[in-house]
Amino acid sequence: MLILLPPSETKRPGGGRRPLDIAGLALPSLTAEREATVDALIALSRDPESARRVLKLGSTQAFEASVNALLRTAPTLPAVDRYTGVLYDALDAASLDAGARRWLSAHVLIHSAPFGPVGALDRIPSYRLGAGISLPGLPPLRRVWADAVTRAIADSSAFVLDMRSEAYVALGPVPSASPAAYVRVVADDDGGRTRALNHFNKHAKGAFVRALAMERARVASRAGLLRWADEAGWALRESGEPGILHLVVSERHTGASLLHPGSRPR
């Protein structure tokens, strides 16, 4: 199984001294696109005002563009440790044991804007770039990445579990011929109606991937994933829409929304 995760706008600073090694990242067929995007991002950073405008940064965020100038020399962290925010806080990869982290390395790609999909343990620097940005000297990122990423995914025969946001799906759609499922997080209300969740879907996705990693899940197909989820107490079910699975969570209101897996006792 190959899991595709979105990145996060928020990132942990710092890292080890080893610089970015573009040739050593997962999916080496994307090296040309990575080099071009990194070069364009570094060039943009030489003009702070242009960088602020192109990257759509407010006045209090302008300093964030400066990290892009150091992409080739900055400290690096494993991608799964670099990102913070709701999904990655729920996944909490730093607290996983070595075996679970190896499982993430073997099964998870995180789809970044400047580097394309990278392995969970691939080392990357901090950066500032969103999926919807057009960098000077390059076509829009969708045109830079989409076909190349789709071809790279097609080279794998693995079942693909797509947990990306729509903006990152556009940067590399899963090939139509690949065995795959897209996960949508939903909640069932008291009336039995299903509705999609927005902010809280990130927590559920992070917790779900953490559970897979902790159990070193061996999943090779859609049916196998559904069996694993049922045995592990996760409410993962067919949506009735082609290619889409629903990850169902319960929502209770106690002044704020609290989420937990829609599970049964084990």
DSSP-assigned letters across all residues of 193-253: -EEE-STTHHHHHHHHHHHHHHTT----SHHHHHHHHHHHT-EEEE-SSTTEEEEEEEEEE
CA distance 154 to 172: 11
pLDDT at 250: 72
pLDDT in tens, 201-242: 899 999 999 999 999 999 999 999 999 999 999 999 999 999
Dig out the tokens for 13 from the structure: 């600073």
pLDDT tens by residue, 246-258 = 999 875 432 233 3
CA distance to 27, 122, 235, 248, per residue, from 23 (Å): 9, 11, 39, 39
Q: What percent of the chain shows pLDDT beyond 70? A: 90
Does the structure show a pLDDT above 70 at 261?
no
Q: Round the average pLDDT of the chain to a whole number and report it.
A: 90
pLDDT for the residue 262:
42
- State what percent of residues in the chain have pLDDT above 90: 82
Q: 240: exposed, middle or buried (C-beta count within 10 Å: 0-12, 13-18, 19+)?
A: exposed
Among 56-60, 149-153, 240-244, the range with the most confident prediction by mean pLDDT is: 149-153
- Predicted confidence (pLDDT) at residue 54 exceeds the cutoff of 50: yes
Place of tokens 């002044």: 255
Residue whose entry in the numeric block shows the structure tokens 């969708």 = 142
pLDDT band at residue 30 using 50, 70 and 90 as cut-offs: very high
pLDDT single digits (tens) 92-150: 999 999 999 999 999 999 999 999 999 999 999 999 999 999 999 999 999 999 999 99
pLDDT reading at 260 higher than 50: no
Distance CA(219)–CA(2), nearest Å, equals 9
**Residue 194 binned pLDDT confidence (cut-offs 50, 70, 90):** low
Cα Rg for the chain, rounded, in angstroms? 19
Contact 30, 248 (CB under 8 A): no
Q: Would you state the pLDDT for residue 192?
A: 58
